[in-house]
Amino acid sequence: MDFSVRIAQIRKQMKLSQEEFGELVNMSRRTIAAWEAGDRTPSFSTLSFLANRLDVSIDYLLGRTDETIKKQPAAESSELLEDIITRLRGLPDPALSRVSVFLEGLQAGQAIAKEAQAQQDPADGSAG
């Protein structure tokens, strides 16, 4: 799987149009369309930005791995959660609805990645 397939897959899992996804990652709809068509590829700095924004690794974006989760120490994770909750409290209802859709997409992506991982590595005890 290459970047064009992976970025389209991520966007669709998040249930976003190319325009909405572009807004999320600060890119134009035309750029997203060109990426998905395989006509253009992002620079390394853009890949790094996308990985951070989407909370995945660059290797995941490039299709080198199906592992999407970045491991964080528990203390860092709880601080991040507190920061997110604080920021959510300040959002108006329409923005909260978009965040909810975004979170559903992330959860769907995690489920798909776990399923793919289990199929690739039956020795982990989850298959069979």
pLDDT in tens, 39-75: 999 998 899 889 888 888 888 999 888 876 555 555 5
* pLDDT score of 125 more than 60: no
Asked which of 9-18, 76-85, 91-100, 109-118 is least confident by mean pLDDT, the reply is: 109-118
pLDDT class of 7 with cuts at 50, 70, 90: very high
Q: Please list, in sequence order, all residues whose beta carbon lies within 8 angstroms of the beta carbon of residue 18, skipping any fewer than 6 positions away.
A: 11, 29, 32, 33, 36
CATH fold of 3-124: 434 Repressor (Amino-terminal Domain) (1.10.260)
pLDDT at 105 over 90: no
C-alpha 78/C-alpha 126 separation (Å) is 28
What is the pTM (predicted TM-score) of this model? Answer: 0.54
Q: What percent of the chain has pLDDT over 90?
A: 34
Instruction: Kindly state the DSSP code that residue 70 receives in the 8-state scheme.
Output: P
Spatial contact of 32 and 11, defined as CB atoms under 8 Å apart: yes
Mean local confidence (pLDDT), 84-97: 89
Q: Which residue has the higher pLDDT, 105 or 126?
A: 105
Q: How far apart are CA 109 and CA 127, in angstroms?
A: 19
Cβ-proximal residues to 35 (8 Å cutoff; 6+ apart), any chain? 3, 4, 7, 41, 42
Kindly report the length of the chain.
Answer: 128
